Amino acid sequence: MSKKFDLNRDQILRTAAELFAESGYHGTGITELCEAVGYGRGTLYHYIGNKETILYEISSRQLAQMNEVADGLALSVSGPEGRLRGLGAALLRNIAEHRAEWTVFFREFHALTGERRDKVVAARERYEAHWRHALDQGVRDGQFHGLPPLTVKGILGMFNYSYLWLTVDGERSPEQISDDFLDVLVFGMTASTQPGQSPTDQAPF
């Protein structure tokens, strides 16, 4: 495909993400999308295909980028805390820059059917596994104390929920917010903290 084709397709997906984020996937019609991008139905289908294809592309693109980042960190960063901080910073930066797309993913991906839904779920699980592997390594290395199996979902829930309020130009950058989150988490998971012991019970140095 030509560069122009790719640029036009990307613009359609960005516009669709904004419409779906504002009005919902089911609440946005093809006619409304055609009007927003300035194309007729035939041209729109030429670039994208049907409406579910649009939802699939929106739901899968940023997740694919996060898996690519996670794959790179797994190869280049050996320590579990470093990988967690890399994962967190990349995720919040991506959410801040693509809030509409993540809004659609979190709220609407369940409307996908068949193979498309299976692929998105598999990609999400593969991304979660990168976080789980970093946490498990921290436990094996003695850096973190034993963690319940659902810990990774709780941690990701805290990061993912930021799609409701995170901005690129806020008082603190997405990377700084990620470090704030992980400072709390890493301290709470550190093996020297006994279960039930309050952080205030420990000396600061």
* Domain ranges across the chain: 52-192
Name the H helices within the chain.
3-23, 30-37, 41-47, 51-76, 80-97, 99-108, 114-140, 151-160, 174-189
Domain 52-192 classification at class level: mainly alpha
Does residue 143 carry a pLDDT above 60? yes
**Per-residue confidence at 204, pLDDT binned at 50, 70, 90?**
very low
**Per-residue confidence at 10, pLDDT binned at 50, 70, 90?**
very high
Task: Express each pLDDT in 117-127 by its tens digit.
Answer: 999 999 999 99
Statement: the pTM of the whole predicted model exceeds 0.75: yes
Question: Average pLDDT in the 29-41 region?
Answer: 93
**Per-residue confidence at 54, pLDDT binned at 50, 70, 90?**
very high
Q: How far apart are CA 81 and CA 186, in angstroms?
A: 8
